[in-house]
Amino acid sequence: MDADMQIDVESPYVELAVEVFSMLADATRVRLILALGGGEMPVNALAERVGKSAAAVSQHLAKMRLGGMVATRQEGTKVYYRLQNDHARQLVMDAIHQAEHALGTAPGHLS
């Protein structure tokens, strides 16, 4: 979909978009999205990267998988997670840039 394309306020996807935002309304999940931006990783590496237990990270990843944000690949006994596509990462990056703007720490934009 073209970024400049207008979406009608009555779009049936509005409620689904709210579900996406709800899924991302968790600091651990945001950190997982950022960590997976560099490529696939197993649960233990992700847990270490975000400073949470492997069990907690597995629960977050299971929800993210059901939400279509991450996909898996199994290699032996290890399960590797990756972003399903770049959309969630872009949402997170945009939210971080918005936070920078709100704090007045963002670099200026060319209009």
- pLDDT tens digits for 47-63? 999 999 999 999 999 99
pTM higher than the cut 0.85: no
CA distance 55 to 45: 12
- pLDDT tens digits for 58-100? 999 999 999 999 999 999 999 999 999 999 999 999 999 999 8
Q: Greatest CA separation found in the chain? A: 50
CA distance 35 to 46: 7
Domains and CATH numbers, the chain: 14-94 (1.10.10.10)
